[in-house]
Structure 1
Amino acid sequence: MFALVGPLYRRVQRKVEQAEPYEGLSVGVRAVLDLLRGHGPMTVPQMGRAQALSRQFVQRMVNQAAEHGLVESVPNPAHQRSPLFRLTEEGRARITAAVARERAVLREVGGGLTDAELTACLRVLREMVRTSDHVDVG
């Protein structure tokens, strides 16, 4: 599974990077926007944990997104020093357009896969993500 997921991820990442001039979204900023689209407002540490990325990297991506008016900070009632970030209208429009374009491309790559096969694949991948922090490889 890992031998296939790694190359697949890198290929998709290259496609996103190639689309950057068109969409204006780097891979990192796109990931932040997609995370906020799916989960609503989050803090930088929450985003880092959700994506298994360093807080510093996520902060740089959030800063880039904010510079382009794609996200904005809002007060966090649970923690004064760690603001929540949410999509702006422009950010929501940009990530919605990017996801729609990506889905259109992916539909062309279907290879005759059924909905049941795709659903099973998603279940397996979600379970692997969920349990990966608890598996000892050494």
Structure 2
Amino acid sequence: MEGDAFSAFAIAALRLAGHLTAAGDRLAKPAGQTSARWQVLAAARSGDMSVAQIARALGLARQGVQRLADVLENEGLITYTDNPQHQRAKLVLLTTEGAARLGMIEVAQAGWADGLGAAFTSAELDAARAVMARVMGLLEADEASGG
């Protein structure tokens, strides 16, 4: 029975992920970006992560993030710089133009989030986030153990 409830939860989470990605694409489009590119731009803001580190943080394949980063570099939105910790794994840095595009997206996202957030209490959202964090932790532990 718990398995049925978890399966229903997982299906709802997957559907939500699809809706959030579509919404992210709509929010990023005026800045000429997509949800995936937006995530890489946001990660590049810190300036202390390599492509592999960004991929791990986002739960994405390194090769996919590398392709996105290369496109963003070609568009002048990020740049690569030497990594004092690793000779070959360059750090990803946001350029001035990349920061401007990211800022456009984040302004749109803030208004969007305020509108949706008004439909819930902070306690409801905190509880939902806590359940999601527990599920992710269990899944990550299962993956780490080879399960």
Inter-CA distance 98–111: structure 2 relative to 1 (3 Å threshold)? same
Aligned residues: 137
- Structure 2 residue corresponding to 1:2, chosen from 10, 25, 32: 10
Q: Which residue of 2 aligns with 1:120?
A: 127
| Residue matched to 1:78 | 85
CA separation of 1:104 and 1:68: change in aligned 2, threshold 3 A = same
Same amino acid, percent of matched pairs: 28
Aligned to 1:30: 38
Deviations 1:42-71 (A, max 9, x none): 111111111222211110000111111111
Task: Give CA-to-partner distance per residue, 1:74-133, whole Å, 9 cap, x none.
Answer: 110011111001111221221122122122112222353112222332333233334422
**TM-score, normalised on structure 1?**
0.83
Structure-2-length-normalised TM-score: 0.79
Q: Which has the higher Rg, Structure 1 or Structure 2?
A: 2
The one-letter amino acid paired with 2:11 is: A
Q: Give the partner amino acid of 1:22.
A: P
Aligned counterparts, 1:83-102, within 5 A: 83-102=90-109
Unaligned runs of 5+ in 2: 1-8
Computed over aligned residues only, the root mean square deviation of the Cα atoms, in angstroms, reads 2.3
Give yes or no for the alignment of 1:15 onto 2:23.
yes
Q: 72-81 or 43-52, which moves further after superposition?
A: 43-52
